[in-house]
Amino acid sequence: MPRIAVGTENDHPIEIHYEDHGSGPPVLLIHGYPLNGNSWERQERELLARGHRVISYDRRGFGRSSQPTVGYDYDTFAADLKTLIEHLDLDDVVLVGFSMGTGEVTRYLGTYGSQRVRKAALLGAIPPFLLKTNDNPEGVDGEVFEGIKAAIVKDRYAYFKDFLDNFYNVDKLAPERITDQAWQASFNVAAGASPHATYACVDAWLTDFRPDLPKIDVPVLVVHGTEDRILPFEATAARLPELIADVRLVPVKGGPHNIAWTHPNEVNAALLEFVGAKVPSPA
């Protein structure tokens, strides 16, 4: 099981689990909260079949990575990503983030630049800035996030139930696009996440990415569900074309937050075209 050290806590290593498969132009997949790298299965399969090397990893606190009580901020998340990219010596990589993972992509490019990056894709985007402030009236009231943290403290399993129902718009899309079994699989992954990370990541959601966005100098694909209840389309993705120099916005009509699972045909078509996937010639 491949792992790399990205820091320490009380002299114990903090390790990130990653998967690295296939060959060809590299694509690095960064998962959303509260899932893990396996959540990309419907995209990884298509990318591998079309001749790409596909790397995914579990964010600290989630999946098979270490579960420390430190480092749940986007500067640290981006540094973890940088360590992985350098460890694998990736060049001309396409970074693909979903939900929280779009924050890693944005902060990485804003902090470290695009020397190793060819393109970037944001699915269910968290930028530019979720919190409502005087200069960000499109944001969400801070009390909403305090309520989320209180719900996690009270009973994080009950919170995950409500969260995942809205993550998949279960009332509208089950069972055709999200089965009970797939929902339960997501719940099981969420329940296995670090209790500390589950709580601490909520504050990270309020990161202001507006200073990072003008620094992005690679082509960017944004794919976002129009009925996203977790990161509403108008407050997030719809604002990005004015803030990123080279961006293509693909709304997924009726899509929930996790469009990568519920609408794989639409997501994969846009992603494969964007990364320039080539169908292998017949033998």
For the question of residue 87 being annotated catalytic, the response is: no
**Start-to-end Cα distance in the chain:** 32
Burial class (CB within 10 angstroms; exposed 0-12, middle 13-18, buried 19+) of 238:
middle
- Structure-block tokens of residue 96: 């693909």
Q: How far is CA 119 from the centre of its chain?
A: 15
- DSSP label at residue 136: B
**Taking the C-alpha atoms of 277, 217, 242 and 167 in order, what is their torsion angle to the nearest 10 degrees?**
50
Helix (H) or strand (E) holding 264: helix 264-275
Q: Which of 31, 52, 224, 257 is catalytic?
A: 257
Annotated active-site residue 114? The verdict is: no
Paired residues of 13 in beta bridges: 8
Measured CA distances, 191 to 36, 41, 156, 194 (Å) = 12, 19, 8, 8
Q: Quick check: is 58 catalytic?
A: no
Given the residues 99, 186, 194, 263, select the one marked as catalytic. Answer: 99
**Do 152 and 144 contact (CB within 8 A), yes or no?**
no
Burial class (CB in 10 A: 0-12, 13-18, 19+), 78: buried
Paired residues of 23 in beta bridges: none
Catalytically annotated residues: 99, 228, 257
